[in-house]
Chain A
Amino acid sequence: MAETLLTVENLTKKFEGNTILDGLNLTIQRGEVVVIVGPSGCGKSTFLRCINALEPIQEGTISLQGTPIVYGSKNLAEVRQKIGMVFQSYELFPHLTVLDNIMLAPMKVQKRNKDEVKEEALQLLDRIGLKDKADSFPRQLSGGQKQRVAIVRALCMHPEILLFDEVTAALDPEMVREVLDVMLDLAKQGRTMIIVTHEMQFAKAVADRVIFFDQGHIVEEAAPDEFFEHPKTERAKQFLNVFSFEKVEHNK
C-alpha cells in the first residue's frame, strides 16, 4: 500500500460570488503522476494555487503528509518547502544569476551549506544540459531554458510533491519538447507530480491518472488510456473532440 501524500477534502473556493472550485475531493499517493485537464477557466490553475495556499479557500481541508495547509497560517513557509511549484511564466528572479536563483532558497530558507547546495545545483543543471548557463542571467535564456531552470530551482528544495501550472503554455512550439522531456524524466524517477496541461499527447504518456475538470468539478477521473480512448462522460468527449481534426473533403 503506497503512502498517501496529499489529501484534499471538500475543497471549495469562491471568488467575488462565483464558485471556482466546488467541493473537490482528491488523494494523491507517493510516486503518482496526476494530470489535470479541462477547458480554460475550469479552475485547474486555481486548484494548484490552493494546494500551495497562494489562494484563500472558503471550505474544506488540504493536507500534505497529515500537515494541514492553511492560508495565512504560521507554518506555511515550512509546508511550502515540501511543495515545489513551477509557473507558466517561469518566474525566475531576474536580478539573480541562474545559479543564485537555484541556490537562494536552499541556503536562506533551509540554511543548507553553500558548497553542498552549489554542487547539487550544478549537478541538476548538468542533467538538463544547462551547466554552462550557471552564471547567465534569466534574460539571456530562451523560454524553454528558463522553464527548465525553474524546474531545477524547485527540485533543489527536495520537495515531496511538484506542481506544474501549464508550464509549456507560454513557450514556442519547438521549446515545448525540451521542457516536457525533463518532466518525463522526473516521472521516471518516481517523483510525485500534479501537472496541469493542454498537451494531450504528453498527458497520455506521463500520467498515471487523468483528472478532467469542468466548472469547478471533477467530471471524470481515469487511467490515461481509458480517458483518452473511451471517455465516459459527454462533457469529456466534447472536450477531447476539440483536439482532433477530421480530414477536409475537397470538392473537386
Chain B
Amino acid sequence: MNWDFIAEYLPMYERAAILTVKLGVIGIVFAILVGLICAMIQYHKIPVARQIVAVYIELSRNTPLLVQLFFIYYGLPKLGANLSPEVCGIIGLAFLGGSYMAESFRSGLETIAPIQRESALSLGMTNRQAMQYIILPQAVSMSVPAFVANVIFLLKETSVFSAISLMDLMFTAKDLIGLYYKTIESLFLLVVFYLIILLPVSILGSLLERRMRHAGFGS
C-alpha cells in the first residue's frame, strides 16, 4: 500500500464525496416528495392519476438506474432539454427513489385500520384533519424501517453517476486506476469514503427504528 499516494489523492476523494452526498441528498429529498404524492394518490384511489402512478412505479422499479440515467442524459437533449450532468443525476435518483419511497409510505398508510379514521371523523374532524393528526403520524412511524433502507439504497445507487461523467467517488477511483494503476489504493479509498458516508446513516437509522419500536404503538 502506497500511503503517500493515498495522502496525495485524499482531497480529490473529499471533493468527490461532497458531490456524491450533495447529489444524493437533493435526489432523495425529491424522491421523498414524489413518493409522498404518489402514496397519497394511491391511498385516496384518485382515478386516472392512480393508474399513472401504478405505471410509473412499475417502470421505475423494474429498470436499472443506469438505463434511466442514459435516457435522461442522452434522451432528453434530443427532445430539446439540455441538462447538466448534476441535474440529470438528481432527476434519475428522484425517478428511481420516488417509487421506492411511494411503496414504503403506502404500506405505512395501509397499516392504519380504517376504523381509526372513522373514530377521528366521528369526533367531528374533517378528512384533512383526520389525515394530519391521526393517520399520517402513525403511518410515518410505521414506514421508518423501509424509509431508512431506501435512503441507504439510494445513496449507494449514486455510484452509477460516474457513467454520465459526474466526478463522484466511483468516477474518481476509476480515473485514478486508469491513470496510475494504483488499484489497491484507489479502491481502498473508495470503500473508506463510502463507509464514511453510509455508516452514520445506517447507525442513525437503526437508532431511530429502535426508538419507534420502543414507542410500540398498537392500541
A89 near B115 with CB under 8 A, answer: yes
Pick from B116, B123, B137, B215: contact of A105, CB under 8 Å: B123
A139 near B116 with CB under 8 A, answer: no
* A104 in the interface (beta carbon within 8 A): yes
Encoded as 1 (CB less than 8 Å from any A CB) or 0, chain B from 127 to 139 comes to 0010001100110
Q: In angstroms, how far is the closest chain B Cβ from the Cβ of A192?
A: 16
Q: A54-B118, A91-B115, A93-B134 are in contact. Are A77 and B219 (CB under 8 A)?
A: no
- A-side contacts of B134, CB under 8 Å: 93
Pick from A54, A90, A95, A110: contact of B122, CB under 8 Å: A54
* A157 in the interface (beta carbon within 8 A): yes
- B-side contacts of A83, CB under 8 Å: 122
Q: How many A-B pairs with Cβ below 8 Å?
A: 71
Q: A94-B217, A139-B217 are in contact. Are A52 and B129 (CB under 8 A)?
A: no
A84→B129 CA distance, assembly (Å): 17
Closest chain A residue to B130, Cβ basis: A77
A52→B123 CA distance, assembly (Å): 10
Q: In angstroms, how far is the closest chain B Cβ from the Cβ of A179?
A: 16
* A148 in the interface (beta carbon within 8 A): no
Pick from A92, A104, A139: contact of B133, CB under 8 Å: A104
* B186 in the interface (beta carbon within 8 A): no
* A153 in the interface (beta carbon within 8 A): yes
109-156 of chain A: CB within 8 A of chain B: 109-110, 138-139, 146, 153-154
* B119 in the interface (beta carbon within 8 A): yes
Q: A92-B219, A109-B129, A139-B218 are in contact. Are A80 and B115 (CB under 8 A)?
A: no
A90→B115 CA distance, assembly (Å): 10
A80→B125 CA distance, assembly (Å): 8
* B126 in the interface (beta carbon within 8 A): yes
A94→B124 CA distance, assembly (Å): 19
B122 near A52 with CB under 8 A, answer: yes
- A-side contacts of B125, CB under 8 Å: 77, 105, 108-109
* B121 in the interface (beta carbon within 8 A): yes
* A12 in the interface (beta carbon within 8 A): no
- B-side contacts of A52, CB under 8 Å: 122
B219 near A139 with CB under 8 A, answer: yes
* B216 in the interface (beta carbon within 8 A): yes
B119 near A94 with CB under 8 A, answer: no
B218 near A108 with CB under 8 A, answer: no
- B-side contacts of A93, CB under 8 Å: 116, 119-120, 133-134, 138
Encoded as 1 (CB less than 8 Å from any A CB) or 0, chain B from 58 to 74 comes to 00000000000000000
A138→B134 CA distance, assembly (Å): 14
Q: A87-B115, A91-B119, A153-B123 are in contact. Are A108 and B133 (CB under 8 A)?
A: yes
* A183 in the interface (beta carbon within 8 A): no
Closest chain B residue to A83, Cβ basis: B122
* A81 in the interface (beta carbon within 8 A): yes
A95 near B219 with CB under 8 A, answer: no
A138→B138 CA distance, assembly (Å): 14
- A-side contacts of B138, CB under 8 Å: 93-95
A104→B218 CA distance, assembly (Å): 19
Closest chain A residue to B125, Cβ basis: A109
A109 near B123 with CB under 8 A, answer: yes
Q: A87-B119, A91-B116 are in contact. Are A81 and B124 (CB under 8 A)?
A: yes
* A85 in the interface (beta carbon within 8 A): yes
134-186 of chain B: CB within 8 A of chain A: 134, 137-138, 141
- The winner among B122, B125, B133, B218 for most chain A CB atoms within 10 A is B122
Q: In angstroms, how far is the closest chain A Cβ from the Cβ of B72?
A: 39
* A178 in the interface (beta carbon within 8 A): no
- Which residues of B does A touch, CB under 8 Å? 115-116, 118-126, 129, 133-134, 137-138, 141, 215-219
* Besides A77-B124, A83-B122, 4 other A-B contacts (C-beta < 8 A): A94-B219, A104-B133, A108-B129, A146-B219
